[in-house]
């Protein structure tokens, strides 16, 4: 049994890619994507027709609707190759607008439905700002399942649990990046690996809180930099992994033990935590890493969404 097969005994494996032609090789249960991954994919010759079809099929439509048509087109292709769910992201430029996020999410789900897809197989990805979490709460109440992304802090996770969102995606690798950069030459890679990795520790704390208090929101570790971060979270509800790291797991037959266990989490001595809006904003403000990485992540996704728009506008003008 290779490590990827062993991991599947404890955890649902999710593919983190816009390159859906890679999916068959790894047989993930679910898949997730974002504007950056789709931007990368549509610049490959084999995916260019999807962009052209989305533009041609939406002639005269506003650019934001063409964007949604493209990401839904990718999502539909992915759903043909996996048995589970696909996560589709709302434009990051709406991260601080609850009403606009809700409206965009409902339009995306309507597009999936028009393509004959079961909406229960779609998770709407929303940045875990206060406004995004509030939008997710509204969407969940309307039967639209959500995946809260760009999640770097315990406070974000607590607020998402209170909102009863379907799933959260805490970003392991970007947390690791921040602490490594901050430490500079004093960073000890060996000492900070595995269970000592700050990104791994963040997900473990969230997982323990959720399981201890019976919060049903699923935890999906994301944004991995190395296989060690993945194996240190074996047992997490889901892990979304790039094809490159899945290939490394598939190529290894090293032993893999369960690292996270819900029964063990229930025996821990933990204090309940809740946040109102003011408390959430203050807790996030006090976490320099989470504040910086959330803002940086929104800017990066927004920039890639703008680049994707430019490609679509160029295709429409051709």
Total Cβ atoms within 10 A of residue 13: 20
Q: Give, in order, the Cα–Cα distances in Å from 294 to each of 92, 131, 171, 201, 285.
A: 11, 13, 10, 18, 11
Active site residue 44: no
Contact between 266 and 209 under an 8 Å Cβ cutoff? The reply is no
Q: Which of 40, 44, 125, 307 is catalytic?
A: 125
Count CB atoms within 10 A of the CB of residue 236: 26
The two structure tokens encoding residue 9: 């005994």
Residues 6+ apart with CB under 8 A from 166: 123, 140, 145, 146, 147, 217, 218
The tally of CA atoms less than 13 A away on the side-chain side of residue 130 is: 12
Query: If you count DSSP H runs as helices and E runs as strands, how many of each does the chain have, helices first?
Result: 15, 8
SS3 28: coil
| Distances 34 to 3, 171, 233, 278 between C-alpha atoms, Å | 26, 14, 23, 29
**Cβ count within 10 A of residue 274:** 10
* CB atoms inside a 10 Å sphere around CB 78: 25
Active site residue ranges: 125
């Amino acid at each position: 049994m290779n490590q990827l097969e062993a991991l599947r005994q404890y955890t649902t494996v999710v593919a983190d890619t816009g390159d859906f032609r890679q999916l068959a090789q790894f047989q993930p249960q679910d898949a997730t994507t974002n504007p950056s991954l789709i931007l990368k994919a549509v610049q490959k010759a084999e995916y260019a027709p999807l962009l052209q079809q989305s533009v041609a099929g939406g002639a005269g439509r506003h650019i934001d609707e063409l964007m949604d048509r493209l990401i839904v087109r990718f999502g539909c292709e992915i759903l043909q190759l996996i048995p589970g769910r696909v996560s589709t992201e709302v434009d990051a430029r709406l991260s601080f607008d609850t009403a606009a996020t809700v409206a965009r999410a409902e339009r995306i789900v309507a597009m999936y439905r028009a393509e004959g897809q079961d909406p229960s197989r779609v998770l709407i990805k929303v940045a875990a700002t206060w406004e995004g979490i509030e939008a997710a709460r509204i969407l969940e109440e309307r039967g639209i399942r959500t995946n809260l992304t760009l999640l770097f802090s315990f406070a974000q996770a607590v607020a998402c649990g209170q909102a009863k969102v379907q799933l959260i995606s805490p970003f392991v690798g970007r947390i690791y990046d921040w602490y490594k950069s901050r430490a500079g030459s004093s960073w000890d890679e060996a000492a900070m690996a595995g269970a000592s990795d700050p990104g791994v520790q963040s997900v473990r704390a969230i997982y323990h809180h959720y399981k201890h208090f019976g919060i049903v929101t699923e935890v999906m570790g994301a944004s991995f930099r190395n296989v060690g971060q993945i194996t240190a979270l074996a047992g997490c509800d889901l892990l979304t992994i790039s094809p490159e790291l899945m290939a490394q797991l598939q190529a290894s037959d090293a032993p893999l033990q369960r690292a996270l266990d819900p029964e063990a989490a229930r025996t821990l001595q933990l204090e309940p935590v809740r946040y109102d809006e003011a408390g959430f904003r203050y807790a996030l403000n006090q976490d320099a890493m989470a504040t910086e990485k959330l803002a940086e992540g929104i800017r990066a996704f927004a920039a890639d969404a703008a680049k994707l728009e430019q490609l679509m506008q160029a295709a429409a003008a051709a």
